[in-house]
């Protein structure tokens, strides 16, 4: 039974149609050109897909997190870069959604919900990825402004975003308690995108270095209070990581579907390879991995839509991201194997899917970090188990 209402189901059908007719034909070109696909952004704008990420009060559809995740999954079945456009819009907007003041929300969210503006999230630096409390970018208060100095590395949507959620130290001596969050607009004097990184996969998504050299940002652009930035950064990631999980699951299901179609018709030793038990076993494992991953992902979506928060969300988010991305890497590797030599050449999409899958184990917190998060939450829980008195 579908967990969606009739209205949500209709939206998902529209997403499926657009995916089949408009996005699938562009996927290989986007990968080969390494160019940001503005035509896909335009498609999302025309059909209101950015609005799926936002509440009605902020200019969105108010149709919930589960449908937004299903949309990213559906699109990522054919093009991981196009799925990522929605996931990064969510990542870059969540700070405003979660802790923005009414004025900040009114100023930024409607333009993000329509897709007129794209968003980015800038936490990582050259010397601090997993160890995000070690960031060195500083924000010094000067009258009604903050002056930002430092560099950010590996930032998705660099150069295409109009709005960046940026984390900087207002108290460099204070560790994670000294971090503050800001919304910084593209075009702010002293802020530039220094370069874009060539990469293994998600080739159409920009990943770049941001440089702040005396960039002045008004106090009105501070998110929350001074010193709350680390907590805000982590709250955002709790909510955004399932976007990566949805992207990963989409890649995995897309690769499974490709492998199945191929195995039905490719014949060796007088029969379709799907009839060889070693290939049939691979297909079964791929499908089972996707189904299990979907269970974790949709559980997270349903939790958010039911108003859950706190530790329950942290653990569900980390488990979904961890499992969906590990499944994506394993499944896409097997899909290449099922296609044999044809899996390794660019005529078929599975080699691209394998390259695209890898980053889902790395960004928005590596899977090693996700395992630490899940274990930490397990240790914090007070569980009643048959083993309590052991
Ligand atoms: C394509 C791409 C897009 C990205 N987009 C963004 C973005 O939009 N915004 C943003 O802020 N960042 C972004 N990132 C950065 C990404 O989140 C980091 O690369 C990631 O968190 C890992 O940080 P790192 O690269 O510094 O690796 P490191 O932290 O140096 O880790 C190196 C290795 O050590 C492991 N490791 C580190 N610490 C521990 C530990 N305590 N226990 C066990 N293992 C550990 C890691 O898991 C990893 O395997 C992006 C990265 C990529 C590649």
Q: What is the mean pLDDT of residues 199-227?
A: 98
Q: Check if 362 has its Cβ closer than 6 Å to any atom of ligand 1.
A: yes
Summarised one tens digit per residue, pLDDT across range 100-156 is 999 999 999 999 999 999 999 999 999 999 999 999 999 999 999 999 999 999 999
Residue 254 has pLDDT above 90, yes or no: yes
How much distance in Å is there from the Cα of 70 to the middle of ligand 1?
A: 26
Ligand 1: which residue has its CA nearest to atom 12?
Answer: 124
Q: Is the pTM of this model over 0.85?
A: yes
Active-site residue (options: 90, 364, 377, 381): 364
Summarised one tens digit per residue, pLDDT across range 52-93 is 999 999 999 999 999 999 999 999 999 999 999 999 999 999
Q: Check if 199 has its Cβ closer than 6 Å to any atom of ligand 1.
A: yes
Q: Which atom of ligand 1 lies at the shortest distance from residue 88's CA?
A: 8
Ligand 1: which residue has its CA nearest to atom 31?
Answer: 130
Q: Which atom of ligand 1 lies at the shortest distance from residue 365's CA?
A: 21
pLDDT band at 387 (very low <50, low <70, confident <90, very high): confident
Ligand 1: which residue has its CA nearest to atom 27?
Answer: 129
Residue 389 has pLDDT above 80, yes or no: no
Question: DSSP readout, 210-265?
Answer: EEEEEEEEEGGGEESSTT-HHHHHHHHHHHHHHHHHHHHHHHHHHHHHHHHHHHHH
pLDDT confidence of residue 257: 98
- Percent of the chain's residues with pLDDT above 90: 96
Q: Check if 123 has its Cβ closer than 6 Å to any atom of ligand 1.
A: yes
Q: Check if 84 has its Cβ closer than 6 Å to any atom of ligand 1.
A: no
364 counts as catalytic: yes
**Phi, psi dihedral angles at 15 (to 5 degrees):** -60, -40
In whole angstroms, what is the distance from residue 245 CA to residue 290 CA? 11
**Contact 338/263 with Cβ under 8 angstroms?**
yes
């Amino acid at each position: 039974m579908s967990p969606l209402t009739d209205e949500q189901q209709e939206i998902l059908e529209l997403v499926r149609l657009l995916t089949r007719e408009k996005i699938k034909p562009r996927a290989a070109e986007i990968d080969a050109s390494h160019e940001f696909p503005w035509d896909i952004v335009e498609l999302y704008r025309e059909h209101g897909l950015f609005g799926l990420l936002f509440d009605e009060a902020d200019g969105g559809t108010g149709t919930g997190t589960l449908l937004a995740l299903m949309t990213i999954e559906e699109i990522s079945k054919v093009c991981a870069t196009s799925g990522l456009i929605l996931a990064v819009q969510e990542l870059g907007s969540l700070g405003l959604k979660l802790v923005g003041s009414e004025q900040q929300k009114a100023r930024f969210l409607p333009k993000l919900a329509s897709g007129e503006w794209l968003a980015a999230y800038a936490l990582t630096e050259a010397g601090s990825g997993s160890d995000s409390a070690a960031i060195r970018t500083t924000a010094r208060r000067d009258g009604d402004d903050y002056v930002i100095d430092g560099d950010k590395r590996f930032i998705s949507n660099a150069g295409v975003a109009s709005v960046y959620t940026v984390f900087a130290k207002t108290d460099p001596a204070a560790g994670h308690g000294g971090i503050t969050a800001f919304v910084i607009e593209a075009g702010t004097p002293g802020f530039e995108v220094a370069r874009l990184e060539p990469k293994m996969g998600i080739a159409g998504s920009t990943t770049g270095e941001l440089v702040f050299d005396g960039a002045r940002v008004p106090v009105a652009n501070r998110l929350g209070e001074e010193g709350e930035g680390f907590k805000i950064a982590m709250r955002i990631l709790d909510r955004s990581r399932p976007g990566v999980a949805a992207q990963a699951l989409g890649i995995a299901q897309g690769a499974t579907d490709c492998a199945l179609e191929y195995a039905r018709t490719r014949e060796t030793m007088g029969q379709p390879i799907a009839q060889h038990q070693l290939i049939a076993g691979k297909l079964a494992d791929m499908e089972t991995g996707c189904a299990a991953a979907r269970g974790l992902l949709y559980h997270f979506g349903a939790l958010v839509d039911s108003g859950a928060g706190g530790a329950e969300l942290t653990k569900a988010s980390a488990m979904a991201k961890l499992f969906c991305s590990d499944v994506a890497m394993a499944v896409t590797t097997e899909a290449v194997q099922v296609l044999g030599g044809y899996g390794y050449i660019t005529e078929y999409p599975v080699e691209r899917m394998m390259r695209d899958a890898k980053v889902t184990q790395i960004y928005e917190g590596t899977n090693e970090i996700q395992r630490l998060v899940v274990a930490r939450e397990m240790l914090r829980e007070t569980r009643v188990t048959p083993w309590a008195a052991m």
